[in-house]
Amino acid sequence: MDRPASRAGVDAAAFRSAMRQLAGGISAITVGQDDDRTGLTVTSVSSLSADPPSLVFCINRSSSSWPVLVRRRTFAVNVLSPAQIGVAERFSGRGGAKGAARYEGVRWSRLVTGTPVLRDALAVLDCEVEELVERFGSAVVIGRVVAAEVRVEAAEPEALAYWRGTYGILRL
């Protein structure tokens, strides 16, 4: 069962196949405001520290959201429920929607930074960029959380997740 690869590294296909086995909760990252807004879908949001409240996510620096994030230095995490697969799809770029068009069809509000947050998300976290750790073609974004709200917890007994390249429903 053990087939050691070269110490120099593993090939990208084997890496991707292994990573597909790891499930991830889905968040839409919103960036910018008004006409200068866009965003992306990620499974990489994680808590970094509760003191100060901070989180991380990973972004490919070829993403259309990257230059807006660098310029605005604020973003929000919108934790999605199964009812919001459409938001996940639009923010992942499927269907071709770009920029502000990704925001159509659902309701948004604001907390502190002014970045749009999804009204009916499971939870939203409004963040300022603490640091952009640029490595390889990607970046680890470290965000300082300036506001956070749980939204539709009682009404929603399921979470939206991504696993083996497709959406799944998580129940407790």
- Contact mark string toward a copy of itself, 64..83, x via CB under 8 A: -------------x-x----
Residue 124 phi, psi dihedral angles, 5° rounding = -135, 145
Shortest reach from residue 64's CB to a copy of itself, in Å:
18
Residue 4, number of CB atoms within 10 A of its CB: 6
Which two tokens mark 103? 């925001």
- Contact mark string toward a copy of itself, 98..127, x via CB under 8 A: -----------xxxx------x--xxxx--
Shortest reach from residue 158's CB to a copy of itself, in Å:
9
Shortest reach from residue 129's CB to a copy of itself, in Å:
13
Asked if 169 is part of the footprint of a copy of itself (rule: CB under 8 A), the reply reads: yes
Closest to a copy of itself by CB, 50 vs 96, is 50
Nearest-angstrom CA–CA distance, 19 and 33: 33
Cα–Cα nearest to 43, from 63, 68, 23? 23
Among 33, 44, 64, 92, binds a copy of itself (CB under 8 A): 44
Size of the site for a copy of itself (CB under 8 A): 83
Give the angle 73-91-62 at the CA atoms, nearest 5°.
60
Asked if 154 is part of the footprint of a copy of itself (rule: CB under 8 A), the reply reads: no
Among 30, 36, 58, 83, binds a copy of itself (CB under 8 A): 58
Asked if 36 is part of the footprint of a copy of itself (rule: CB under 8 A), the reply reads: no
Residue 147, number of CB atoms within 10 A of its CB: 15
Asked if 130 is part of the footprint of a copy of itself (rule: CB under 8 A), the reply reads: yes
Asked if 96 is part of the footprint of a copy of itself (rule: CB under 8 A), the reply reads: no
Asked if 140 is part of the footprint of a copy of itself (rule: CB under 8 A), the reply reads: yes
Contact 160, 120 (CB under 8 A): no
Q: What does DSSP say about strands 138-150 and 123-135: parallel, antiparallel, or unpaired?
A: antiparallel
Contact 68, 32 (CB under 8 A): yes
